[in-house]
Amino acid sequence: GENVEQHPSTLSVQEGDSAVIKCTYSDSASNYFPWYKQELGKGPQLIIDIRSNVGEKKDQRIAVTLNKTAKHFSLHITETQPEDSAVYFCAASRGNNNDMRFGAGTRLTVKP
Amino acid sequence: KAGVTQTPRYLIKTRGQQVTLSCSPISGHRSVSWYQQTPGQGLQFLFEYFSETQRNKGNFPGRFSGRQFSNSRSEMNVSTLELGDSALYLCASSWGQGAEKLFFGSGTQLSVL
């Protein structure tokens, strides 16, 4: 089955800096790659997703890149703000949520 | 539009008891999935319900079960609780079966003593 590895497990940046979180997956049939943000006491919230027919997607300060050949995808957050502090999860699936595998999560701390 | 609502937010049970968790999906969403979140295992898929039928199931023992009602609301039941069942149980709704975009509730934090 799919295995998703996520790095780093913790990341601390200064406000205004960029943050990058990387994930690798094992199933070459995976074609959907969402990123979720989980704040304390809340459930994960979908912040951006990308499909395997697209190499990059951007939404304001957030971008995701996908390298199908290397089987890795990354989340980029620019101009970080304290409210970006949360745990971020990557995931990969073939298109059915029953086989969606989540990474272990990255705890991002943005220092003011 | 109201989000996914899960009740209760917190539960404390003892080993051997059973528990029922409730989830109300976003209006118009017909699929409900359940996930278990623990520090050690992360987010793990339990099962998915669509049109009152379980469509997919993760790798969990039969003590974990669920159902979905005609209004798409779902309940999850865990019988004969074990200490290892302590976790945050998350419900996610989506518009259709196997739909990829999941919208999560805030979860039910279950502690088994």
Q: How many CB atoms within 10 Å of residue B51?
A: 12
Residue A98 with chain B: CB contacts under 8 Å = 33, 45, 48, 55-58, 98
On whether any CB of chain A is under 8 Å from the CB of B33, the answer is: yes
Tell me which of B29, B32, B43, B106 to substitute to probe the interface with A (most A C-beta atoms closer than 10 Å).
Answer: B43
Q: Show Cβ contacts of residue B62 under 8 Å, excluding neighbours closer than 6 positions.
A: none
From the DSSP assignment, how many helices (H) and strands (E) are in chain B? Answer: 0, 11
**Res. A100 pLDDT band, cuts 50 70 90:** confident
Contact, B21 vs B89, CB < 8 A? yes
Nearest CA in chain B to A99: B45
CA distance A66 to A52: 7
Interface contact A34-B58, CB threshold 8 A: no
Q: How many CB atoms within 10 Å of residue B83?
A: 10
Instruction: Flag whether pLDDT at A79 surpasses 90.
Output: yes
Confidence (pLDDT) at A2: 73
Contact, A68 vs A4, CB < 8 A? no
Q: Can you tell me the mean pLDDT for A78-90?
A: 97
Residues B2-36: tens digit of each pLDDT: 899 999 999 999 999 999 999 999 999 999 999 99
What count of residues does chain A have? 112
- Rounded to the nearest 5 percent, the helix, strand and coil shares of chain A are 5, 55, 40
**Res. B98 pLDDT band, cuts 50 70 90:** low
Scanning B40-59 for CB atoms below 8 A from A yields 42-43, 45, 48, 55-58
Pairing of strands B19-24, B74-78: antiparallel
Residues B37-76: tens digit of each pLDDT: 999 889 999 999 999 999 888 899 999 999 999 999 999 9
